[in-house]
Structure 1
Amino acid sequence: MAHYLIYFNQQWVGEHDEAWFEGRVEPSRAVVREMQDQGVLVYAGGLVEELEEAASADATSGELIVTDGPFAESKEWLGGLTIVDVPDDESARRWAGRVAEGCGWPQEVRRFKAGSLQAVVLGS
């Protein structure tokens, strides 16, 4: 089995009214329940949208510097992510499609490099 990251940039969500977002809650939760039932879910969650709540840590100069805000000014930023443990690319793509259907906005899927995921912590 391999771990895959399914994620979206906040800008991919688009402009919608509150009723539209409320209508996406149950379909999104249904996909997460389906992943749990099939034993492929490692983690799923959205991130706060307020970039002022972000912080960046950089040690490339040899000294650790932690600053408020995102690391780089960008027009796009990560909005949420899901990690699945599935046997192959086809399965990962299928789950990315299910997440996209549940949420109502595009998702990207990428496999973690072999050995790059050292520990998996499952939340409740």
Structure 2
Amino acid sequence: MTQYMISVIGSSTDATPAPEDMERLFAQVGAFNDDVKAKGHWVFAGGLQPIEDATVVDATGDDVVMTDGPFAEAKEFIGGFWVIEAPDLDVALELAARGSKACEGKVEVRPFQSDDVELNEGA
């Protein structure tokens, strides 16, 4: 089976949900997670802290440079994710649609590279 990452897309313009809305979202996502586990698609998942808590690490030069904040200034960011296993893209997209409904937000689906993909040494 192929592994897919389903990324939950957040926006810098999103308002912080009210406590009762957070409870509803947690319950919906929890039920979705339980179903994904029960059907054997679960690998792992996680929510991320706000983008203000990010640290960019750049060790491409002689010195390691660490910078507070996200790598790029953007209106949208990844707020959390699921890593699932599915037999094909159609199943992954069906799960993503259900995950989007559960978290009441947009998600992006991307397959992981297979083990037989060779990295281009010149890239």
TM value normalised by structure 1 = 0.80
Shift of 1:80: 0.6
Check 1:56–1:114 CA distance in 2 against 1; reply closer, same or farther (3 A cut): same
Q: How big is the alpha-carbon RMSD for the aligned residues of Structure 1 and Structure 2?
A: 2.2
Aligned to 1:104: 104
Distance 1:106 1:24 in 2: 14
What residue ranges of structure 2 are gaps of 5+ in the alignment?
117-123
Residues 89-115 of structure 1: per-residue CA shift (max 9 Å, x gap) = 011001101111111112111111112
Aligned to 2:30: 29
Structure label with greater radius of gyration: 2
Structure with higher strand content = 2
Aligned to 2:113: 113
What residue ranges of structure 1 are gaps of 5+ in the alignment?
117-124
TM value normalised by structure 2 = 0.81
How many residue pairs match? The answer is: 115
1:1-124 alignment, distance < 5 Å = 1-11=1-11, 14-15=14-15, 16-51=17-52, 53-115=53-115
Identity of aligned residues (%): 31
